[in-house]
Structure 1
């Protein structure tokens, strides 16, 4: 007869002080992680009211798991607006830290520097991460996730602005400068200063033209300095005046016009 007992013995529920036979065992680490993931998923689910505040406040006083009429309180939401980064002891601190713990430290840097939560947003690098990866001699690695290099876009705007209009602008900038992060090639030292200046100028130009979709809006957007820069590059005044209401196609035309003026300086 084969031995029907499992090879490592019959599983036993662990017991300790105050735990009687038949009591449930403490949660396993996987169960704790699963619960935390479930909380994160619940926290980013849309509010039923669609107000986008993300604070998860219910009608109750917040001291109980039950709201009025014995209904469960809504889950705690990850903050998505202009709010300070939670500190240890805050009820949502562990939830926020777990959501940020993906090796993307720049999201926390963005939050600390701007006061805007990165949740509900895509975080863009003005000098793209690919530049640091494929052309490491152009900039210091510490510049990549520096607060001044980070821009936020609401997820609702990201497909049209961050991943389309700005993608097209950056691709045009790279062609103008004679580089391609998709097929990187060594850059002679003599060309490094000009490329650095060109990439930084392109980042400023994107702030000037597409800044109204950024969170927070960069100070240069709509400023007299921005107008002076564009005018000096040959952009007509009527086009400069239209920037705050222009569509992405018109903004791309201004971007190309300004780069041509830049190259002719």
Structure 2
């Protein structure tokens, strides 16, 4: 079995995250919805924990196939997992947020395109 990859962030040259994602994965344009692994609301919930450059970095972006999968996984299952995290972690560390991303990626990454985990 391959080694587990821990979630990380990089630094975006642009805050146009869709452009960043599709420049790296041009064959997915029109096929996926671009999703932030660390949700954008983390910037407001936990000010200063992550920067906008980190938030919009390619390392933090996931492609979710359009249609039913996006509705079921992105808008439902991932939402439940993050709501649980927010309830249990009023003041998380950066590492705790990254660990949450790793858990979500491990749990649901098989739905992402390109595949995570």
TM superposition score normalised by structure 2: 0.78
More strand by share: 2
2:103 to 205, 216, 239: 205
How far 1:120 moved relative to its partner?
A: 2.9
Q: Distance in 2 between matches of 1:114 and 1:207?
A: 18
Tell me whether 1:143 sits opposite 2:44 in the alignment. no
Are 1:118 and 2:29 an aligned pair? Answer: yes
Task: State which structure, 1 or 2, has the greater radius of gyration over its C-alpha atoms.
Answer: 1
Aligned to 2:10: none
Residues 1:108 and 2:19 aligned together: yes
Q: Measure how far apart 1:155 and its partner are.
A: 1.2
Structure 2 unaligned spans of 5+: 1-14
- Is 1:171 aligned to 2:83, yes or no? yes
1:222-245 deviation per Cα after TM superposition (whole angstroms, max 9, x unaligned): xxxxxxxxxxxxxxxxxxxxxxxx
Q: Is the 8 A contact 1:118 1:152 kept in 2?
A: no
Q: Please say if residues 116 and 216 of structure 1, whose CA atoms lie closer than 8 Å, have aligned partners that are also in contact.
A: no
* Contact 1:120/1:155 (<8 A) preserved: yes
The SS at the match of 1:122 is strand
Give the deviation of 1:171 after TM superposition. Answer: 0.6
- Whole-Å separation in 2 of the counterparts to 1:106 and 1:116: 16
Cα-Cα RMSD? 1.7
Query: Once superposed, which parts of structure 1, at least 4 consecutive aligned residues long, lie more than 2 Å away?
Result: 113-118, 133-136
Q: C-alpha distance in 1, partners of 2:56/2:42?
A: 12
Higher helix share goes to which structure? 2
Deviation by residue 1:195-244 (Cα, 9 ceiling, x = unmatched): 211111000111111011001001xx2xxxxxxxxxxxxxxxxxxxxxxx
Uncovered stretches (5+) of structure 1, i.e. residues with no partner: 1-103, 179-190, 222-265
Deviation at 1:141, TM superposition (A): 1.9
- Give the alignment of 1:1-265 within 5 angstroms: 105-156=16-67, 157-178=69-90, 194-218=92-116, 221=117
Per the alignment, do residues 116 and 196 of structure 1 end up closer, same or farther by CA in structure 2, a change over 3 Å counting? farther
Task: Give the Å deviation of 1:114.
Answer: 3.2
Question: In 2 relative to 1, CA 116–201 (structure 1 residues): closer, same or farther, beyond 3 Å?
Answer: farther
Counterpart for residue 83 of structure 1: none
Tell me, yes or no, if the aligned pair for 1:129 and 1:144 is still in contact at 8 Å.
yes
